[in-house]
Structure 1
Amino acid sequence: MKFRTIKILVLSGAIAMGTGACKKVLEPELEYAIESSRLKTIEDFERVLNGAYAYMRSTGYYGFGYSNGADINTDNMLETTASLGNNRPLSQWYYTIGSGVVERVWNAPYQAINQANAVLDNLGNLQEKVAGQKNRIKGQALAIRALGHFDLMRFFAVNYDRNGTGFGVALKLKSEVSFPPRNTVKECFDQIYQDLTEAEQLLQETDVAVNTGSRRIRMDVHAVRALRARVSLYTQQWEDARDYADKVITQSGINLGSIASGVAVTSTAINNTTTFQSVWFNDLNSIAETIFAVAVNVGQGSPGFFPSDGMNAFTVSQDWRSLFGTSPTNDVRYNVTYNPSASPATASYLKFTGRFTGTALPRDGNVDVKVFRIAEMYLIRAEANFRLGNANTARADIRLIRQNRITGYNPVSDVIPDVLEAIQVERRKELVGEGHRWFDAKRYGLGFNRGASPGSGDCPSTAPDCELPAGDKRFVFPIPQGEIQANPAMKDQQNPGW
């Protein structure tokens, strides 16, 4: 064929249902085809990028699979009586190579990657009128591709070894239809780092700012650096993780959300745009915390597992709540996440709903899906410093986070004897529902135990297993059956045990 045809997604507010009967989330639905040779203007390429960002909202990606979906299968979450069971294969660990959730979390990042590749493949056609336009477009496309490949690695790679020779995922570097085999873990990380290095260089010299205003819904240079810090944390490149987290902390101008208006979730605290509460209940105006978020606009639903009647299919577990000790409401993270006065099935889980009273339905579209926050950068810097032998420097970052989260906190008396354990606990408190716990357990070599038997502790009565041992094959998702059948190159490349 003389020309390839690519699909550009046009954001129109079109809505498709998410997981089963759960509350609606945006799916990229309306699209039209255009010959790649006709992509010439900056507006053409921006529309293609919009499509890539739209794919991030899909159920298989940050609309569920890579956000809440990577928490409901851990010790952070508990299924409620309002659940219709749609997500049990994931939350109760009985997914198979034919499970829909496995297929969705495999396909969705590739859709975003393919859209980014469409930009990169045709960028030579761009009639640049202002210096820096091409940098702005290409830098974002490379960043999206790096994020997509890394996210796929998190679920499907056999390990996160920087030089690993085992199976990673199939690198997709062109927008044409192809059936590549899986690359090695090392090859995948080589490409991810290459894309991030180039993206960082390009996004430092753009015609205009990638993000304008307080809403950071495109990948700018700070998002690229945050992603690199996270990648290096997973691959145990400690100096790189420390340095890139530090770059974000010191150069982005983004601050930790404060408790300047107290730790309770009140109208005063929400309307103070520098507070932690504003991040979750007023994030269209909040100037705190967020480095990059996937946009959720009015009418596009809430990310995750909220049934259409506004009840919670999942809430935070007893195990998670126990992390806060005997005075949990002294910590703003507890208060923005959980309402203890509501029944678990009605309105106890608050994070991402946009509601704070625990009585009304979620305020549709008020909460973007946070992909990178500044608090994570402090925790990455703390862990990297600890691994490098700088325990006291790590303690300082832990204390700073706690000082911005806990009322009456005294950093002088907080000795933090076990630094790594403290980091792991802070990651659970801070990042619950944001899609970290599953991958943290995998990289730390931890398992989960929800209770002695089904119906006890945090173990649902419907669960076939209450325990997922460390190193279990289920920590590495299987390659979907449909992919294996359609791609001969992957015929003998299934993950171990599947």
Structure 2
Amino acid sequence: MKKIIISAILLGAFAVTGCNKWLDVKPVAETTKDELFKSQKGFRDALTGAYIHMKHSDAYGNAMMWGNIEFLARNWDVSSTANLAMNNLVNANYTDAAVRTWMDNTYAALYKIVADVNSILENIDIKKNIFTDENYSLIKGEALALRAFAHFDVLRMFGPVPDNPAATIELPYVQAVSSQIVEPIGFLPFTQQILADLDAAEILLKDTDPFVHYSRAELNPPSSMPPPYVVADDFYMYRQIRFNYYAVLALKARVYMWLSAQDPAQKANAAKYAQMVIDAKDHNGTPTFRLGRESDRVAGDYTMTPEHITALHVFNLNDIANNTFGEGGPLSRYDLNVSDGYYYLNNLFPVSERVSDVRWTGMWAYKTTPGATNYAMYRKFNQRSNAPFLQVPLLRLSEMYLVLTECAATKSEAESFYRTYADQKGIPFVNGFATSGWEADRKNKLIREYVREFYAEGQTFFTYKRFNLANLPANWTYVYYNGSAARYIVPKPDREINYHNK
């Protein structure tokens, strides 16, 4: 009898809080598939295991969020020249043994998430008769979306630059738990598999996801919703941080933007799905999501949770933030507190824009430790005492506005989308895009926005790769980042270890 490890159920440093009863899973070291999938609860537990695995330090609990991938984008400085391995990572020296280990571990972690959901998907149709209410559609839809999400980040990290997908770079799209190595496939077949999973997930979740019909206030405690929502079955809670219907739409927009680097016609699809997310409303006619703004920052909600389309709940996020970004934390920016046109933050956040930009005010602070006062700390994930904002975003509404801005065919249309976004974020945008060469101006502003908006969220490196950026835009007035195929294409493990099937 084949066994599958559900080690993700072991609650560790990035485990989800016990107040979410749908994640109140008893620790289980190992169980047979037959035993696990005898009941609806077993399928739920396996899905929970996939979510918890996403918070592993080699995945979105560090490396793919604020850790290694942000060093690849040069968003952090290495504070000690003695840290040779980290300097090698910053310089994309993928032959260094430590760097290779880090990258190989992330490759394995992403495929472990795939293995978790594949164990569900290969059993769920056989056991369809054990499910009640909408559980079959919800669990299968989420599992398909998670499989697509993990595979897409494998592609973005280890695949080719999308505007020139090399035929020689192939990756395995794994759809079953097996002891056999899955044959890798090329860029286009791989992306077709991603979209096929997302299409299927969209169909399953469109009419069954409670988040489509009810507000987050109604689905989260305390709630007066009738059964099966919340009262009789609290598995339906917290849909805004699950891979819900709108997360599927948002991920489709992201995937189509990646494809548009090679095929500009795909921008129409990206815009379609981004607009669907923006237009989403609950049964009261209230927008399901809204852009984060100054009032959120004042309330201590630095990650702007009203715009989270899907996220990870991290119960000890403030401890992680203090230990990672605080006075003694390893992640910071070297940036003299002067406007000299060279240092990174002075280019990213020009002094003329700092007064109103919610991504600057209260988000950055200079260290006070002697000898470290020129290092700036990032405070996005810091929490006030008893703050309820313990979420790490995976997809956000702000990205949908940037997608629409990039996909707009005319200057006025692009300005309309960007101005709506800029007004909420406190970005001065009085005169619109440049009259001459507006498309180049739009591109430069978009690249800057992706960096400012998603700092420490793992998106900067992927933005540079999608644009195949050799240097940062000229209007940044300094040379800090150099991109190339050697940097953008992270090598797969030398030996195709069967990470994804055990």
Give me the TM-score of the superposition, normalised by structure 2: 0.76
- Report the equivalent of 2:431: 413
Counterpart in 1 of 2:349? 324
Alignment RMSD, CA only?
Answer: 3.5
User: 333, 351, 354: which one pairs with 2:382?
Assistant: 354
Taking a change above 3 Å as real, the CA distance of residues 57 and 129 of structure 1, as seen in their structure-2 partners, is closer
Mapping of residues 283-322 of structure 1, within 5 Å? 286=305, 288-298=306-316, 301-302=319-320, 306=324, 310-315=328-333, 318-322=343-347
Structure 1 pair 382/116, CA: closer, same or farther in 2 (3 Å)?
Answer: same
How many Å separate the matches in 2 of 1:342 and 1:127? 61
The 3-state SS of whatever aligns with 1:32 is: coil
Q: CA deviation at 1:233?
A: 0.5
State whether structure 2 residue 280 is matched by structure 1 residue 251. Answer: yes
Aligned to 1:239: 268
Deviation at 1:427, TM superposition (A): 1.6
Could you tell me which residue of structure 2 aligns to residue 491 of structure 1? none
Deviation at 1:257, TM superposition (A): 1.1
Paired residue secondary structure (2:376): coil
- Deviation of residue 162 (structure 1)? 9.8
State the SS of the aligned residue for 1:206: coil
CA contact 2:138–2:209 (8 Å) conserved in 1: yes
- Select which of 102, 111, 132 maps to 1:130: 132
Amino acid at match of 1:432: Y
Report what 2:54 is aligned to.
56
Aligned residues: 433
Answer yes or no: is the 8 Å Cα contact 1:338–1:350 preserved in 2. Answer: yes
Tell me how far 1:200 sits from its aligned partner: 0.7
Distance in 1 between the 2:255 and 2:188 partners? 13
Task: Report the TM-score, using the length of structure 1 for normalisation.
Answer: 0.77
1:474 aligns with 2:471: no
Offset of 1:177 from its aligned partner?
2.5
In the alignment, the residues of structure 1 paired with residue 320 and residue 71 of structure 2 have an alpha-carbon distance, to the nearest angstrom, of 16
Which of 278, 282, 292 aligns to 2:301? It is 278
Partner of 1:397, secondary structure, is helix
CA contact (8 A) 2:302 2:381 kept: no
Letter in 2 for 1:80: S
Partner Cα distance (1:162, 1:203) in 2: 34
Q: 1:139 to 1:449 in 2, by over 3 A?
A: closer
Q: Is the 8 A contact 2:302 2:380 kept in 1?
A: no
**Cα offset, 1:209, TM superposition:** 4.6
Task: Please identify, of 201-210 and 241-250, the stretch whose mean Cα deviation from structure 2 is larger.
Answer: 201-210
Give 5+ residue unaligned stretches, structure 1: 18-27, 271-276, 357-361, 451-456, 459-465, 488-498
- Cα distance change on mapping 1:126 and 1:297 into 2, 3 Å: farther
1:384 and 2:407 aligned: yes
* Contact 1:323/1:425 (8 A) holds in 2: yes
Shift in Å, 1:182: 1.8
Match of 1:178 among 168, 177, 180: 180
Superposed displacement of residue 87, structure 1 = 3.5
Partner residue, 2:229: none
Q: Does the CA contact (< 8 Å) of 2:92 and 2:487 recur in 1?
A: yes
Which residue of structure 2 lines up, in the alignment, with residue 193 of structure 1? 195
Residue pairs, 1:24-43, within 5 angstroms: 31-38=28-35, 39-43=37-41
Q: Which residues of structure 2 form unaligned runs of 5+?
A: 16-24, 221-237, 261-265, 282-287, 336-342
- Whose helix proportion is higher, 1 or 2? 2
Q: For 2:159 and 2:308, locate their aligned partners in 1 and report how far apart those are by CA, in whole Å.
A: 28
Check 1:97–1:140 CA distance in 2 against 1; reply closer, same or farther (3 A cut): farther
Identical residues among aligned pairs (%)? 23
1:118 equivalenced with 2:119 (yes/no): yes
From the superposition, tell whether residues 129 and 431 of structure 1 become closer, same or farther in structure 2 (CA, over 3 Å). Answer: closer
Q: Using a 3 Å threshold, how does the CA distance of structure 1 residues 428 and 16 change in structure 2: closer, same or farther?
A: closer
* C-alpha distance in structure 2 between counterparts of 1:365 and 1:81, whole Å: 35
Moved more, 66-75 or 141-150: 66-75
